[in-house]
Amino acid sequence: MGKTDLDGARAQLAAIARLDRMLEANGLAYWLFGGWAVDFHVGALTRAHGDIDVAVWSHDRERVAALLDEDAWRHAAEPGEDGYTCYERDAIRIDVAFLARDESGRVYTPLRAGRGEWPRDSFGNDRLELLGVRARVISLAALVAEKSVVHDDPQTIAKDRADLTALQRHK
């Protein structure tokens, strides 16, 4: 990682710490997923990240939005959002995915045309630490499943391959 990437990672890590304190203090469950979840599972910075991916329960959507607004995060909705929304503060971006649970207990992201399924046992109480910052993260099995999905975008494919390699080395 270059100095600019490292500075960006430190700023994002500080935002994760702040988000953790804010949500935990208000009794709101959340989980990191995506690249930052990889770093927390590995216990090291593995690559630069363009955003912070966070999942929260759909029924907490308004409370989370209000807390982010109070903390100077600006809602930065993207055209075509489906199952998530975005917030920005300074040069940091948070993508917030929403979760629901069906009658059988399966967790999914509600979408306009159906639902995005999450692996069983994705959302436990695991709190991991990275460079002095503690955060809730999705399970390792769910993270590997997430990173194993084949995408069309070459950049996403490259990031997912790098993330899977980092996770395999960590085992």
Q: pLDDT, tens digit, for every residue of 53-82?
A: 999 999 999 999 999 999 999 999 999 999
User: Which is more confident, 138 or 150?
Assistant: 138
The tens digit of pLDDT for each residue in 99-120 reads 999 999 999 999 999 999 999 9
Residues 51 and 107: their CA atoms lie apart, in Å, by 23
**Is beta strand 92-101 parallel, antiparallel or unpaired with respect to 84-89?**
antiparallel
Burial class (CB in 10 A: 0-12, 13-18, 19+), 54: buried
Q: 16 pLDDT band (50/70/90 cuts)?
A: very high
pLDDT computed for residue 171 by the predictor: 65
User: Mean pLDDT over residues 14-22, rounded?
Assistant: 97
pLDDT computed for residue 17 by the predictor: 98
pLDDT computed for residue 4 by the predictor: 54
Mean predicted lDDT score pLDDT of the chain: 93
pLDDT computed for residue 119 by the predictor: 93
User: Mean pLDDT over residues 4-17, rounded?
Assistant: 88
* pTM for this predicted structure: 0.93
Q: 134 pLDDT band (50/70/90 cuts)?
A: very high
Residues 43 and 140: their CA atoms lie apart, in Å, by 13
DSSP notation for 55-117: EEEGGGHHHHHHHHHHTTPEE-PPTT--SEEEEEETTEEEEEEEEEE-TT--EEEEETTEEEE
User: Mean pLDDT over residues 12-27, rounded?
Assistant: 97
Burial class (CB in 10 A: 0-12, 13-18, 19+), 125: exposed
